[in-house]
Structure 1
Amino acid sequence: MAPRNHLSFLFLSLLCFTSLSLLLSFLKNSFLSSSSPSPVISSRTIATRQFKHDEVSSGGCDFSDGFWIHDPKEKERSLARYDETCKEIFKGWNCILAGKSNAKELLSWRWKPKACDLPNFDPIQFLERYRNTNIGFVGDSLNRNMFVSLFCTLRHVSSEVKKWRPAGADRCYTFLKFNLTIGYHRTNLLARYGRWSANANGGVLESLGYKEGYRVDVDIPEGTWAEAPSFHDILILNTGHWWWAPSKFHPQKSPMLFFEKGLPILPPRPPHEGLDMALRHMILYVERRVRPGTIKYFRTQSPRHFEGGDWDQGGSCHRMQPLSSKLVDALFSLSNNGTNTEARLVNQHLYKSLEGSSFNILDVTRMSEFRADAHPSTAGGKKHDDCMHWCLPGITDTWNDLFIAHLSNTRI
């Protein structure tokens, strides 16, 4: 071959090779672009979706959307889980010992999510899986209701228990064989509060006519749980009922007076605005204080079922079966401005405050709204019907089923 032809051949070969390489590279990039996952979602977006939709953290099923099914076998399973002999049950919640007529029958109802089944709680498996773990319930007496349910369930299968009070806990137990600790930290508002009286020398609140009330420091956690975030591996927080408690925080006689950075917030704000401020500060406090990997839940509001008036107006809860969907909506609709709308009002504030946080949601409100039959009522031992707390054994066992199911899908 002539030298000139030889050079032409080499040039054409090199040109073809280069063109082929460019073509293959283009096709490879196009393929990767079309088959790669969608853009990464920020942790803020994920947290928001976890809060709004249970299915994000429960493998595709919204455990909170469902209905109650009457199942006689459920009563046997419930009483096999634990019974009225569990000594941790507060007397006013032990409906079986108190002789409430439907105390055992209310256990014959099983929660059925629409798209799946709520897994049965296996306490032995739970103790094994969460060895060397601290679980803290932080909130009002409704969180204690849930804490007691979990304790009694675990105590039924593991008898070696140490009672103590770490990190300011109101009550706490460690299951020694598994080194699993569950504690309850009592706090009504999450934020610190106490009695306030006017200063004889005057002040800004005194100049506005305030003589007494309750000082609420919206940016300071109550001491009972301030150390809980750095101690527990799993946290379940709640608040709500006390923010709508005029018998305690009377708007004229003993109002809530909100402080921030040690100074009164002016002009004075109504309780619902104070709740927003306290939630914002407390959520940020927890997120700053927890250890890496801590799982955080905020439980939605537990509904009350007073009919015929509020607790101090002769209200009662004598129903023997769960409510129908139609009656639930009538009793709890915010448009009715009824006695029990507190639950949905509180949840609105929770949704707003938790948006974008790293908390998971534990939605117990809807499933609980049906269960007007499951309160202690007159068996609570009070001068009025207890239509706020729940009988044990009872519905808070299902709350814990829900909690464990979510936890199994969010555990790091």
Structure 2
Amino acid sequence: MPPKLISHLFPCLIFVTLLLLTLYFNLLSHTQPSSPSPPCNLFKGKWVLDPTRQPLYNHTCPFHRNAWNCLKSQRQNMGLINSWKWVPESCTLPRVDPTRFLGLMRNRNIGFVGDSLNENFLVSFLCVLRVADMGAKKWKRKGAWKGAYFPKFNVTVAYHRAVLLAKYKWQPKQSMVGDQGGLKGIHRVDVDIPADDWVNITDFYDVLVFNTGHWWGYDKFPKERPLVFYHAGQPISPPLEMLDGLKLVLENMVSYIQKKFPSKTLKFWRLQSPRHFYGGEWNQNGSCLFNEPLKESQQQWCEQRSKVSESSD
């Protein structure tokens, strides 16, 4: 080929080559699967004030305990308190739709096991779900502390009170000889035996939510009425400190759940919320005066106050 012809064709060949490469890479980008987006972290976010937000239920909900019915008692600033909503950073969290939720859970049962943190959530949850089935009835079977049955959807939601999860009972001091450091008795905790309140629910619930934590403190079990931990019917030696006992209870309860509950049962462990009493503990004229979510500095203050309470005992 004459050199002059090559010189004229060369720019055209470069252009065609680049065009083909561009088309090829575009084709690859469409045929190769796109990388999956990172999962939504619902727990990373913040509380946002939404003045238009209103509760889904009112004070007439029959599942409230009268002493805790803030709507009925007309607690101050309830309108402001109910206007807060949780907003995740990187995704959207829609408000619960009770009709859709019960429809998805049709012919299934949901159980909560633990302390009053789970109980408080359950009460609000039952009142929300009742919006979709006003024929809901109170339900207290299989050792449940409280619950509800929603006949329109054949769904049961209930709470089993087991503040330590493990079985425990009060044993008064047997001997009256000597002061024994002011000891009045012990609370025996069998770390390997679940509490009676939930031992017979292994095949009933399709979803279970467990929690414990707020009772593991010296305000609940002071030194004159301590927790003493047992395993296989015998006291553990040397005696365990309270938090070491909590760790052992959790290990044993998780093992029990894995062995006794069907693998198809959906299980959750719920964490604690910060303590927020002001002017005293819950049984010492303490009040909850906050109208907005606790700030991080206030949460640290609550944690420090708990540690001070432990050290003073």
- TM-score tier (shorter): 0.7 to 0.9
Q: What is the DSSP-based 3-state SS (H/G/I as helix, E as strand, rest coil) of the residue aligned with 1:73?
A: coil
**RMSD of the TM alignment (CA)?**
2.9
Which residue does the alignment assign to 1:322?
293
Q: Give 2:305's aligned amino acid.
A: T
| Equivalent position SS for 1:67 | strand
In the other structure, the counterpart of 2:208 is 235
**Amino acid in structure 2 at the alignment position of 1:280:** E
For structure 2, the residue ranges without an aligned partner over 5 or more in a row are: 1-31, 309-313
For residue 215 of structure 2, give the secondary structure of its aligned residue in structure 1: helix
Matched, 1:122 2:92: no
* Larger relative contact order (Cα-Cα within 8 Å, sequence gap ≥ 6): 1
Of 51, 55, 72 in structure 2, the residue corresponding to residue 72 of structure 1 is: 51
1:143 to 115, 118, 126: 118
Letter in 1 for 2:81: L
**Cα separation, 1, equivalents of 2:243 and 2:299:** 18
Counterpart residue type for residue 276 of structure 2: H
1:182 equivalent in alignment to 2:157: yes
Q: Percent identity?
A: 41
What is the distance in 1 between the residues matched to 2:238 and 2:103?
Answer: 53
Superposed CA deviations along residues 11-40 of structure 1, whole A, max 9, x for unmatched, are xxxxxxxxxxxxxxxxxxxxxxxx9xxxxx
Check whether the contact 1:96–1:104 (CA below 8 A) recurs between aligned residues: no
* Stretches of structure 1 lacking an aligned partner (at least 5 in a row): 1-34, 36-57, 343-412
Give the AA of the match of 2:194: P
More helix by share: 1
Would the alpha carbon gap of residues 311 and 86 (structure 1) be closer, same or farther in structure 2, given more than 3 Å must change? closer
- Residues 328-355 of structure 1, C-alpha deviation per residue, up to 9 Å, x if partnerless? 3323338x9622579xxxxxxxxxxxxx
After superposition, the Cα gap between the structure-2 partners of 1:165 and 1:99, relative to the gap in structure 1 and judged at 3 Å, is closer
1:279/1:60 CA distance change after superposition, 3 Å: same
Secondary structure of 2:304 counterpart: coil
Contact 2:63 2:138 in 1 (8 A): no
- Residues of 2 paired with 1:116 and 1:312: CA distance? 40
After superposition, give the CA deviation of every residue in 1:118-170 in whole Å (9 maximum; x if it has no partner).
Answer: 12211111111111101001111111111111111111221233433332112
Q: Are the structure 2 counterparts of residues 281 and 130 from structure 1 closer, same or farther at C-alpha, using a change threshold of 3 Å?
A: same
Once residues 270 and 94 of structure 2 are traced to their aligned partners in structure 1, the CA distance between those partners, rounded to angstroms, is 19
Q: How does 1:73-222 map to 2 (within 5 A)?
A: 73-75=52-54, 78=55, 81-199=56-174, 212-222=185-195
Matched, 1:338 2:309: no
Displacement of 1:289 after TM fit?
1.4
The size of the alignment, in residue pairs, is 272
Task: State the one-letter code of the partner of 1:67.
Answer: K
CA shift, 1:229, in A, is: 2.9
* DSSP-derived class of the 2:192 partner: strand
Does the CA-based 8 Å contact 1:161-1:173 persist in structure 2? yes
State how far apart, in whole Å, the 1-side matches of 2:276 and 2:209 are. Answer: 24
CA distance change for structure 1 residues 282 and 74 in 2, over 3 Å: closer, same or farther? same
Measure, in 2, the Cα distance between the counterparts of 1:162 and 1:240: 30
Report the CA distance between 1:62 and its aligned residue.
0.9
- The Cα shift of 1:59 comes to 7.0
Q: CA deviation at 1:190?
A: 0.4
SS of match in other structure, 1:220: strand
State the Cα deviation string for residues 263-304 of structure 1 (Å, max 9, x = none).
001111111111001111111111111123110001110221
- TM-score w.r.t. the length of structure 1 is 0.61
Alignment counterpart, residue 264 of structure 1, candidates 235, 244, 250? 235
Q: Distance in 1 between matches of 2:122 and 2:170?
A: 29
Change (3 A) 1:93 1:341: farther
Aligned-residue offset at 1:314: 5.9
CA–CA separation in structure 1 for the residues paired with 2:38 and 2:103: 22
Pairwise CA distance, 1:64: 1.1
1:274 is aligned to 2:245: yes
| AA of the residue aligned to 1:147 | L
Evaluate the alpha carbon distance shift between residue 198 and residue 320 of structure 1 in structure 2; reply closer, same or farther with a 3 A threshold.
closer
After superposition, the Cα gap between the structure-2 partners of 1:235 and 1:209, relative to the gap in structure 1 and judged at 3 Å, is same
